[in-house]
A and B are shown apart, each in its own frame.
Chain A
Amino acid sequence: MLSVWKALLLREATFRLFGTRAAWAWLIIEPLAHFAFLTFLFTVIRQRSVGGIETPIWLIIGLFGFFTFRRTANQMGGAIDSNRGLFTYRQVLPFDAIIVRGFLEGLIMVFALGVVILIMALAGYDVMPDRPLVTISALFGLWLFGCGLGLVIATLAEMVPETREIFRMLMMPLYFVSGVIFPASAIPVQYRHYFLWNPLFHGLEEARSGFAVYYHATPNISISYLYLCALCTIGFGLLLYRRTSVAIASA
């Protein structure tokens, strides 16, 4: 099984990094461009710091946390469909394809974040979190939640083909309600509890609060809520997988 994972990982990685011209550069340029544009908007037009963290750093954490979640979910969600030809080799199970994609996406995001942090450090920003473990565990939780959702999407799409389109549509509003580009403190208090239903909101705020002890995070932020949601989606995804795996192989 390990050799299958290794084979799939190398195959996927070769494709993602060298599949098209300079594919590896686009993996980093995409979030970077997004980030640069927002940084410009925020720092030049609005404010220099958010809740005590320099705006660019604050944005990076939010964007990378959210992108990690979104990319992992999308990539894993498409894993069965785009590897269907491989399941004729009985050594390769749909599950292998899903797992490997999630792992690869995590690796890519770690690498991309590393590059950006390096650039920021060279530009003279303070990139060292005060409590690194808090930030790391929050980002890991976001990735895990992305994995869970990806598993659900991949398996549900076998029963309901429209699943991927629906989730892709949901990602956009999710971006706006997860606190990626606005601080929790910008939400009027009486509406804030609605946002707290969203596990991503918890993950992003937690990641930022790990960065600076003096960051004014929203009260009631709980990293365990994010992990609970991640575990629930993974469990649900595994149940769905059990239900669909027989049908996948024969398709």
Chain B
Amino acid sequence: MIVAEDLGKKYPTRSGPPHWVLRDVNFTIPSKLSVGIIGRNGAGKSTLLRMIGGNEKPSTGSLRRLSRVSWPVGFGGGLLSSLTGRQNAKFLCRIQGRESDSDEILRKMQEFADIGSAFDEPVSSYSTGMKARLQFAMSLGFEFDVYISDEVTSVGDAAFQKKALAHFKSLVGKAGLIMVSHSESTLKDFCEAGIWLNEGKAHWYDKIDDAIAAYKAT
């Protein structure tokens, strides 16, 4: 469960008063519900997602994570290119406090990434697609209660995309999913409920279709 109370986020501007991206936002996301966040560019979708992920602190109000929330699925940073895929993945196991069963997790990641022996080669030798595969596999290697995703529709080649989407689908119902996407079909595929961000306010819709309709009406 994720609870936002009077959540607000402001950024300083070069001229004059700060810009409030979000203001007085209240919502409760129940466990195991998949939620799509929509809104136009600059409406604060990614900001909200970063706050849910714990990468950004709210300026006002509070956001409570009462479950284990992932980092953005397929997130690109933090790979050290001189280390191997395995070493990078092992680092993640350690910071997640899962060193004891890391063998099992690593095996799962390696299988999912499906990059063969390159898993034990330095990341600097990877192609863009292989890197994306590794990153995607790394974020799905742990069992989180809630996965967050910021525009992660195009990963790797067609085969991998299919596999990734299938895996994502299998998570729906078992774990929560909070995603930001501009693709209507992706949102409809994955999400039940929707949050529409408009002019700093968040509007909750129990059906994603209603959220999309409201977004389109403006």
Q: Which residues of A contact B (CB under 8 A)?
A: 3-4, 6-8, 10-11, 14-15, 18-20, 84-92, 246, 249-250
Contacts and interface: CB of A to CB of B under 8 A. Distances in A.
Nearest to A87: B55
Nearest to A89: B71
A250 B94 contact: no
A250 B91 contact: no
B57 A250 contact: yes
B99 interface: yes
B160 interface: no
Contacts of A91: 95-96
A15 B92 CA distance: 16
A15 B77 contact: no
A85 B77 contact: yes
Contacts, number: 59
Contacts of A84: 77
A7 B79 CA distance: 14
B91 A88 contact: no
Given A14-B83, A249-B55, A249-B57, A88 B95 contact: no
Nearest to A3: B97
| Binding site secondary structure of chain B | loop
Interface residues of B, number: 24
B66 interface: no
Contacts of B205: none
A14 B87 contact: yes
A171 to B, nearest CB: 26
A15 B83 contact: yes
